[in-house]
Amino acid sequence: MKQNWWKALTVVLLLYVSVAGLLLPVPRLAILNETIRNLYFHVPMWFGMTFILAASVYYSVRYLRTPTPALDIRAHEAARTGILMGFVGLATGSIWAKYAWGAWWTNDPKLNGAAIAMLIYCAYLVLRSSFTDEQQRARVSAIYNIFAFATAIPLFYILPRLTDSLHPGAGGNPAFAKYDLDSNMRLVFYPAVIGWTLLAFWLAQLASRVSLLKLKVYEKQIA
Amino acid sequence: MKNRLPKLRPALLVLLALLLPVVRVAAQSTASDSPEMADVLRQSGKIYVVVAVIAVVLVGLLFFLIALDRKVSRLEKELRD
């Protein structure tokens, strides 16, 4: 029997985050004002993206060891969900930047790193569509996926911290770091990360199941 | 009223969470020395409109997701048999 408890948990967590995220108190900071509440939505997109892309790499590695269409589908759908989360993260970040920094985009290591990582993953999608043979497509894209992930991690988490950045969490902004871990905000932030990550896995799982169904139907038709 | 108190506890806690910042603002001098927040929105209760809208959007999307999940489960079951 399918395990569905985590889907119910997703629903509860997301509802809690949406309501508590607006109603519970937050630190009063200049410039940010109420937009600090974006923390509950913008940041979990990136956390969720990282987890689901890690799952995608996991399936890619498994595929290379035991090639089955199911594993390829899972890797692909997890990557697609990760790319979606990443673009939503970029969009929400851009909106936030417009109001907090005055510009939709800045020449910032974290922002540029994130954009480059997303482009690398878009190239993964393009790569897949360039193959007609399924097994070749699966194998090459699995290898590319591993390299893409290995490149994305330094782009997101290592390079931005080595230099000064306007974006919180880098060398230049210790003050904000104190506040995005404010204990009041933690009450909503941690459930938010879990909730949005679970949503990513739910979406990837659904997409995989649909693809697997399509595969089964196709196999039955040609049999 | 007495034995309904535990059920009212979440509502009371939320109310308290809302009123505490108001108390803080009320205690401020007129030379506003702290960054402005959406206090008026809260005092007027309009924040609940925002919460309600977001909740409705979210519930709608989640319902769609659950319905989709159920459809896929049904199809999987059909194919297995």
3-state secondary structure A111-157: HHHHHHHHHHHHHHHHHHHCCCCHHHHHHHHHHHHHHHHHHHHHHHH
Report the predicted TM-score, pTM, of the whole model to 2 decimal places.
0.83
Q: Is A170 helix (H, G, I), strand (E, B) or coil?
A: coil
**Other CB atoms within 10 Å distance of the CB of residue A159:** 17
What are φ and ψ of residue B28, in 5° steps? -75, 150
- Please give the pLDDT value at position B43: 78
DSSP assignment letter at B4: G
- Joined together, the tokens standing for residue A36 give 């600090």
Percent of all residues in chain B with a pLDDT value above 90, rounded to a whole number: 35
Distance from CA of B17 to the nearest CA of A (A): 6
Mutate to test the interface with A, among B24, B32, B58 (most CBs of A within 10 A): B58
Q: Is the ipTM value over 0.90, yes or no? A: no
- Distance in Å, alpha carbon of B5 to nearest chain A alpha carbon: 22
B76: closest CA of chain A, how far (Å): 7
Report pLDDT for A177.
54
If you measure CA to CA, which chain B residue comes closest to A10?
B62
Residues of A with CB under 8 A from a CB of B: 2, 7, 11, 14-15, 18-19, 22-26, 28-34, 202-203, 206, 209-210, 213, 216-217, 220
Tokens representing residue A27 in the block? 């630190």
Rounded Cα gap, residues B57 and B55, in angstroms: 5
Is the Cα torsion angle B4, B7, B11, B16 positive or negative in sign?
A: positive
Looking at per-residue pLDDT, the higher value among B19 and A57 belongs to A57
DSSP H or E segment with residue A214: helix A183-222
Residue A43 is encoded by which pair of tokens?
């940041």
Q: How far apart are CA A199 and CA B64, in angstroms?
A: 13
Spatial separation of the C-alpha atoms in residues B57 and B44, rounded to whole Å = 23
Q: Which of A2, A203, A213 sits opposite B79 (nearest CB)?
A: A213
For chains A and B, CB pairs below 8 A equal 62
- Per-10-residue mean pLDDT of chain A, 223 residues long, equals 87 96 88 88 95 98 97 97 96 93 92 96 97 96 98 91 78 50 86 97 97 93 86
